[in-house]
Structure 1
Amino acid sequence: MMNISGFLAIIVISVLVSTAGQQVYAQYGGAPTTSTANDYKVTINSDKPSYVIGEIITLSGNVSKYEENRTLQITIFDSTNKLVLSTEIPVTANGKFSYDISNNGKFSKVGEYTLRAQYGKTHLKVEKLSFTLVSDTKKMTDTKKVDEKKNCSDLSKGAQLIGCDNAGLILESSAFKNGKQIPKKYGYKNSNINPPLTIKGIPQNTKSLVLIMDDPDAMGAVGKIWVHWVIWNIEPKTKEIKEDSIPTGSIEGTTDFGVIGYGGPAPPDKEHTYIFKLYALDNKLNLAKGASKTDVEKSMKNHILAETKLTGKYAP
């Protein structure tokens, strides 16, 4: 059995020793230079060491020194050293980042994948991270589940945390469990009403909440992440969002269906995974009704106190 710590171990390297590796970095972000006292280090983790093909891979972490003109470049290679993904991840002014990757399509083979991250092209260190893809949950024997009474700080040890004591912000639904099927009536071509949602663990200094629902799997079908729901200025005392309703005083934005309000799942090709993302902010957003997801994300930058997500699947 493979040691879990090997999957989530953070390995910082300053020089790529293989010629092939140097060629890859020259093409995707530039080769790292010799380390200096001003190294721009990246700390990056995946939320789990193993994933079933089709699951969302969540990356998060921070950079040691933020600079506006630098970009965080990640490249992912499969077990044969074939490039699978090269992309840039946005970094906030406080040096933190969080990014979801859909592992459908390009991530179609079981096995170990290697991720390399670098911040900028000079005076940097390259970080390496590994994770595995399996064909079904029965093979995820290397994923360690922590008892719900454990502290969330155990995340640094490579564990999959379930309901830990200081887990913080939580988003749930009585209509479906996290990662399971969203009932058909919430689909765009059916009743097209929003599912009920329950909110827990709101930080004490929260001034408002933001909820965004989108579909990363739409990238393969329509070339973009499809926006299904954007709602902001939700009162921090809100404990639930009832079915087919929005909290009093909250404001909705425009979806990629071109309308204001909720637009249910409508995968054009196959089963998609939909993500409900909840953010706790230290302010309210000064945006007019009908604003876009991009507008909301720009406005809440540097104001996020906590965030969480709920995922659900929906097939045509």
Structure 2
Amino acid sequence: MQLTSTSLGNGAAIAREFAAGDADGFAPDRNPQLAWSGVPEGTRSFALICVDPDVPTVADTVGRTDMTIPRDQPRCDFVHWVMADIAADVRELAAGSCSDGFVAKGKTAPAGPAGSRQGLNDFTGWFAGNPDMAGAYLGYDGPYPPFNDERVHRYFFRVFALDVATLELPTPFNAGDVHRAMQGHVLAEASLHGTYTLNPSL
């Protein structure tokens, strides 16, 4: 199975249009176009996950003007998008079809292919302590890495072909729930990644 995009080149920089933040604040936050082919026989649905594996693990180093986040600081995953139960006949998500703007406190009913379900991304936890921003962040919210990070962040888009039409998931669900539910049901997967940084020196 192959995953391609007219919005981003594999390994190339992600355009501001598809990011949640830029040097001035919030960015357009449109989901990139994604298309997949070479789907195996027996596919009954797809799942999609987008993860940044380069997120700093020391929270009090983020966003400070008096220091940079060291490149070698331990990193963790940050989920930007999780969607399940994408119908077996879907082969493309158009740019901006699932997200077209950042919504404070999260999108309550993000768009998506008929029958699909959007999960919580990790902005839900990131903004949990901020009364102006706290909420359930469903669907796609794009890159917004710390401006003081010495590392360029990578964003991996992964599409999984599954042999079940629906996954057994709680409401709401997150990427961990999807990974557990699709164990033993993955027929194929495809991925691509882009990069993004707000550090002017990189």
Pairwise mapping of residues 22-33 of structure 1 onto structure 2 (< 5 A)? none
Relative to its length, the structure with more strand (as a share) is: 1
Pairwise mapping of residues 165-244 of structure 1 onto structure 2 (< 5 A)? 169-189=1-21, 190-219=27-56, 223-244=75-96
Higher-Rg structure is 1
Pairwise mapping of residues 39-50 of structure 1 onto structure 2 (< 5 A)? none
Give aligned pairs, total: 148
Query: Does structure 1 conserve the Cα–Cα contact (< 8 Å) formed by 2:121 and 2:138?
Result: yes
Give the Å deviation of 1:224.
2.4
Give the Å deviation of 1:232.
0.7
Task: Tell me the TM-score normalized by structure 1.
Answer: 0.45
Aligned-partner residue type, residue 296 of structure 1: V
Give the Å deviation of 1:220.
5.3
Distance 2:9 2:57 in 1: 25
Name the counterpart of 2:64: none
Give the Å deviation of 1:249.
1.3
Query: Does structure 2 conserve the Cα–Cα contact (< 8 Å) formed by 1:273 and 1:311?
Result: yes
Give the Å deviation of 1:266.
1.1
Give the Å deviation of 1:237.
1.1
Cα gap change, 1:221 to 1:227, in 2 (>3 Å): farther
Gaps of 5+ in 1: 1-168
- Larger RCO of the pair (alpha carbons < 8 Å, separation 6+): 2
Distance 1:263 1:279 in 2: 20
Name the counterpart of 2:103: none
Query: Does structure 2 conserve the Cα–Cα contact (< 8 Å) formed by 1:194 and 1:264?
Result: yes
Query: Does structure 1 conserve the Cα–Cα contact (< 8 Å) formed by 2:51 and 2:78?
Result: yes
Output the aligned Cα RMSD: 1.5
Gaps of 5+ in 2: 22-26, 60-74, 98-111, 125-136
User: Residue by residue, what CA displacement relative to the aligned partner does 1:180-234 show, whole Å, maximum 9, x if unpaired?
Assistant: 1111111112011101111111111001101000101115565520010000101
Distance 2:53 2:37 in 1: 25
Look up the SS of the partner of 1:204 in the other structure: coil
Cα gap change, 1:213 to 1:206, in 2 (>3 Å): same
User: Residue by residue, what CA displacement relative to the aligned partner does 1:21-41 show, whole Å, maximum 9, x if unpaired?
Assistant: xxxxxxxxxxxxxxxxxxxxx
